[in-house]
Amino acid sequence: MEEINLSIKTEGYRKIDNNIFNLDNKILNEFELIYNEKKYSNNGHENTSIINNINDLKNFPYVNKLFRKILDLVKYNKISNIEFEDIWFVKSVESIYEPKKLPYVPHIDKVRKFKAMIYLNNVTLDDGPLYMTKINPNLYEDFRKNLKPDYKIKQENVVKNINLSSYKPLIGKLGTTIFFDTNTPHFAGKLSSEKSLRKIIRINFKFKKKSLLERLKKKLF
């Protein structure tokens, strides 16, 4: 696999258009197995299955291979301040689209994460592509830290200081991969019809909390 600079520290995200992981029907078949397995789909999220235990990947060799390639790319970019959280398998369709609610309005996440989103079908403007704007994600760190526990009910994490025209729709073919810091303002686009579909695998990593010693050093120096 080619060496790729992700540049998320300064620009917030990196979109890779070509199918760098050589995804084919084998991983699509595994996606359907996981998506339809009650063990993973019984999680309270619509149209979503979730693998929390990394050891479960041994049962899905092609998803596991994809995951390992993602880790190699993360290692190449020297992103060491993250830890695995889970993997989401999602089918976004018109019936779940709510234009005035999260995640369909510009926002950042309360819990800061590093995510790799892989399209498993050709995603056009009608299929709800991810929209993002290039910006230093640290600019939104204070905003994120000040979100209240009930932020989601009041949608307090909605970003209102960036014009919608500044967001780019990240359309792409099967295998298109988007790496991003969730402090970067983003939103899911409109699903325009019954034929609309955005099928993805999303690998989620949490940013590690700094130790007490690291926090003290920052204050002192």
Sheet with 168-169, edge to edge strand ranges:
168-169, 130-132, 186-188
pLDDT at position 7: 83
Q: Look-up: residue for tokens 């498993």?
A: 120
Tell me if 25 is assigned to some domain: yes
Task: Assign residue 45 the CATH number of its domain.
Answer: 2.60.120.620
Q: Rounded distance, CA 89 to CA 41, Å? A: 9
Tell me if 140 is assigned to some domain: yes
pLDDT of 31 higher than 80: yes
Domain count, the chain: 1
pLDDT at position 3: 79
pLDDT digits (tens, 9 = 90+) for 165-198: 999 999 999 999 999 999 999 999 999 999 999 9
- Are 173 and 79 spatial neighbours (Cβ–Cβ below 8 Å)? no
Q: Rounded distance, CA 217 to CA 146, Å? A: 22
pLDDT of 163 higher than 90: yes
User: In the predicted model, what is the mean pLDDT of residues 48-66?
Assistant: 97
Tell me if 86 is assigned to some domain: yes
pTM, to two decimals: 0.92
Pairing of strands 177-181, 186-188: unpaired
Residue 209's domain comprises: 8-220
Tell me if 1 is assigned to some domain: no
Average pLDDT, the chain: 93
Q: Rounded distance, CA 6 to CA 16, Å? A: 9
pLDDT of 210 higher than 70: no
- Are 60 and 33 spatial neighbours (Cβ–Cβ below 8 Å)? yes
Token pair of 160 as six digits = 């209102």
Tell me if 162 is assigned to some domain: yes
- Are 199 and 120 spatial neighbours (Cβ–Cβ below 8 Å)? yes
